[in-house]
């Protein structure tokens, strides 16, 4: 595959569409050294970004959580995304909106004097887990744990929160797995490296309470879909050993969409009727 910095196309950066290969930042960009960056991952279907406004609102909230003064409104972010999608010529695409502190007068931890930037890049991206989307993903159990809300702004979609995700996913892939499952700082089941998780038992759905990790927009969408189907949903703390009794499992996320899970460590799950139904219903919803 072509490297992401060497592609044809246009990227929206600070108000202008520029050539893809010219979308560069300086070595001393603050975000590169101190992770002063937040982002959104979104998907467009049939030329329309799904839940676009909710993503733009969360981008602003994430920036505020990291004390990054973003000088763009929701409407302005929406316009930037629409302009970039149109310029891409794509109908089905992945959308990445990125906010970061650039290079300026500050190069220590503090960065109040440095400019804040906004960019939007769009590209074609298929199934995040490849064949696992149909067959069921295999997950490792991560060594790291999701941190306490007392230690970091856990509800922001912040670049720094993904460091342990990269480490854990690399270790998982080295074992032949698609991803890794995190426990939280208390030992409860939390989420995968870039997706929320759901379990099924006796026709009811159980999903970890999002009190120390990102309450994903896809997660919220799927919970509402389940409730509309009159399926009981339990948002609660789940102990790892409970996974032995669950019958089905799936992941949700903008990139993951709805992906069934076949294995997590020693635990196995069937790709059952409810999992398939939710995956098909979600696909129909995003393309409606």
Give residue 126's pLDDT. 84
> For 177-200, what is the mean pLDDT?
98
Does the annotation mark 227 as catalytic? Answer: no
Q: At what angle do helices 52-65 and 217-228 cross, to 10 degrees?
A: 130
In this model, does residue 1 exceed pLDDT 80? no
Q: Which of 250, 256, 262 is nearest to 136 (CA)?
A: 262
Give residue 241's pLDDT. 98
Element (H, E) at 19: strand 16-19
In this model, does residue 132 exceed pLDDT 80? no
**Confidence category of residue 70, pLDDT binned at 50, 70, 90:** very high
Give residue 263's pLDDT. 97
Give residue 68's pLDDT. 97
Domain 132-286 sits in CATH 3.30.9.10: no
> For 124-134, what is the mean pLDDT?
78
Torsion-angle region of 114 (φ positive above 0: left; ψ -120 to 50: alpha; else: beta): beta
CA separation for the pair 77, 281 (Å, rounded): 29
Residue 216: alpha-carbon gap to chain centroid: 7
**Confidence category of residue 95, pLDDT binned at 50, 70, 90:** very high
b/e string for 16-42 if b means 16 or more Cβ within 10 A? ebeebeebeeeeebbbbebbbbbbbbb
> For 233-260, what is the mean pLDDT?
97
In this model, does residue 134 exceed pLDDT 80? no
Give the domain ranges of the chain: 10-123, 132-286
> For 91-108, what is the mean pLDDT?
97
In this model, does residue 137 exceed pLDDT 80? yes
CA separation for the pair 160, 67 (Å, rounded): 14
> For 216-233, what is the mean pLDDT?
98
**Confidence category of residue 198, pLDDT binned at 50, 70, 90:** very high
In this model, does residue 261 exceed pLDDT 90? yes
In this model, does residue 130 exceed pLDDT 80? no
Q: Which residue has the higher pLDDT, 233 or 131?
A: 233
Q: Of 81, 138, 157, 169, which residue is the catalytic one?
A: 157
Give residue 129's pLDDT. 80
Domain 10-123 sits in CATH 1.10.10.10: no
């Amino acid at each position: 595959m072509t490297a992401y910095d060497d592609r044809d196309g246009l990227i929206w950066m600070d108000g202008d569409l520029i050539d893809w290969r010219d979308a560069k930042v300086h070595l001393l960009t603050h975000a590169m050294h101190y992770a002063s960056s937040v982002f959104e991952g979104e998907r467009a279907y049939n030329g329309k970004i799904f839940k676009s406004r909710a993503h733009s609102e969360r981008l602003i909230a994430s920036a505020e959580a990291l004390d990054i003064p973003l000088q763009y409104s929701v409407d302005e972010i929406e316009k930037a995304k629409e302009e970039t999608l149109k310029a891409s010529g794509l109908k089905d695409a992945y959308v990445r909106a990125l906010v970061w502190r650039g290079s300026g007068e500050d190069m220590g931890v503090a960065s109040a004097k440095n400019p804040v930037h906004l960019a939007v890049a769009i590209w074609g991206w298929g199934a995040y887990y490849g064949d696992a989307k149909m067959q069921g993903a295999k997950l490792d159990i991560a060594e790291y744990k999701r941190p306490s809300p007392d230690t970091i702004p856990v509800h922001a979609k912040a670049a720094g929160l993904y460091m342990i995700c990269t480490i854990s996913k690399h270790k998982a892939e080295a074992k032949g797995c698609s991803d890794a499952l995190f426990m939280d700082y208390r030992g409860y089941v939390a989420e995968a490296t870039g997706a929320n998780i759901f379990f099924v038992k006796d026709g009811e759905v159980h999903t970890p309470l999002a009190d120390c990790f990102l309450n994903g927009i896809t997660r919220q969408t799927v919970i509402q879909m389940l409730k509309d189907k009159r399926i009981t949903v339990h948002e609660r703390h789940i102990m790892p050993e409970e996974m032995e009794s669950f019958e089905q499992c799936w992941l949700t996320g903008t990139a993951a969409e709805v992906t069934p899970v076949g294995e997590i460590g020693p635990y196995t799950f069937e790709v059952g009727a409810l999992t398939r139904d939710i995956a098909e219903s979600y696909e129909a919803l995003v393309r409606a």
